[in-house]
Structure 1
Amino acid sequence: MLTVFAGIAEFKRSLIAERTSAGRLAAQEKGVRFGRPPKLSTEQVALGHRLRDEGISVRDVAHILNCHHATLYRAIGTYVIRPTL
């Protein structure tokens, strides 16, 4: 009897997984973005680029934009490569 119940539960679980993945694909096709919302808007990223090009340090620009410097590095794609000792 327990084997029958286990088989039914496994079947129902596979149906749920199929419906969930189909729903996610449909949402992605509609343009739904999954995950955490971005910290910086496109305007803030553009401002970060401009301020960085003007010679202001990334940490100072991050302070102006009220974000962590690593977030700004990721957003503007400027990485400082430090030599290893």
Structure 2
Amino acid sequence: MAAECRFGSVINLVRSACAFGAMSRQLQVTLENFCSAYCEVAPKNKRKPEDNPFLLPIDTAKSLVKQMQSRRTRPQPTS
């Protein structure tokens, strides 16, 4: 969601994760809270476990971050 620049969705995700943690009386927001929150705020067609970014292996997540960062960096114009 953050990579797709949906700022409001990211805020809703964090808010929901905090709510799940508070309902469980946890002192910290956990990965499970974020997984549950993602299922709540994601578009209906992206709620499958394979689409949940919090369930991705760390190597896959890191490569996706690099891929998204490379799309955002533009080459400097030459004079």
TM-score higher than 0.5 here? no
Class of the TM-score when normalised by the shorter of the 2 chains:
0.3 to 0.5
Name which one, 1 or 2, has greater alpha-carbon Rg.
1
TM-score w.r.t. length of structure 2: 0.33
Q: Compute the TM-score of the two structures, normalised by the length of structure 1.
A: 0.31
